[in-house]
Amino acid sequence: MARLRPAAAVIFDMDGVLLDSGVHHRDAWRLLLGELGLAPAPEFWRCTIGRPAEDAVPLLLERPVPPGEAIELARRKREHYTRLAARGMLPIAGAPAFVTMLVLLTEIGVRAAFEVVVTVEDVRWGKPNPEVYLRAAEGLGVSANTCLVFEDAVVGVHAARNAGMRVIGVTSTYAARELLAAGAERAIADFEGFRWPV
């Protein structure tokens, strides 16, 4: 068995890895589809996971969508999500304690725990393009191949692997077998009892 290289940096996807936000995302998409007079198919939301909303719109509508329309529909979905998320969100079990442990070990302390934050507004390409993870590594000042990523989406695992990073899948959205097949080295249900170093 090959020995895994130690991670110099840890990178987290947010939705589905740190925050249990899936129910709000699913409900926001369901509301948008209802406004369009469409009934969602079973597990309709799976094609949206880990993608920018603009990229998910054509997949949900199962037709080509002009960019302007995709942007407008994505905006409407985000409005629904913002309203729903205002009700509150719960963390993935064990995530706050694990992040706090990392902060104590690395003495980061910036932005309450994260030295670098990369959002959809900071990148041109959505996952599975590796841009978001490459920018995170660049911001941290580390080589991409020394990073360990926590991801809950298949497209996110592909993005991290395309960046040359190690990935641990979090099974809040996809099954362990799907995350492993996408390239995660292992899968965890949550961060309860999870210890560093990995």
In DSSP terms, which residues pair with 148 in a beta bridge? 10, 166
Residue 5's pLDDT is 66
d(CA 87, CA 64): 34
SS3 label, residue 105: helix
Which pLDDT value is given to residue 179?
98
The span from the CA of 133 to the CA of 149, in Å, is 8
Q: Where are the alpha helices (DSSP H) in 107-166?
A: 131-140, 154-162
What pLDDT shows up at residue 52? 92
What pLDDT was estimated at residue 4? 61
Q: Which residues pair with 183 in a beta bridge?
A: none
pLDDT of 109: 46
Cβ burial 106-125 (10 Å sphere, 16+ → b, else e):
eebeeeeebebebeeeebee
User: 138-158 as b/e, with b when 16 or more CB fall inside 10 Å?
Assistant: eebeeebebbbbbbbbbbbbb
pLDDT tens for the 198 residues of the chain, in order: 445 667 888 889 999 999 999 999 999 999 999 999 999 988 998 999 989 999 999 999 999 999 999 999 999 999 999 999 999 989 999 998 888 877 664 554 444 557 788 888 899 999 999 999 999 999 999 999 999 999 999 999 999 999 999 999 999 999 999 999 999 999 999 999 888 777
* pLDDT (0 to 100) of residue 8: 82
Q: What φ, ψ does residue 130 adopt, rounded to 5°?
A: -80, 0
pTM equals 0.80
- Domains present along the chain, CATH in parentheses: 9-20+91-188 (3.40.50.1000), 22-85 (1.10.150)
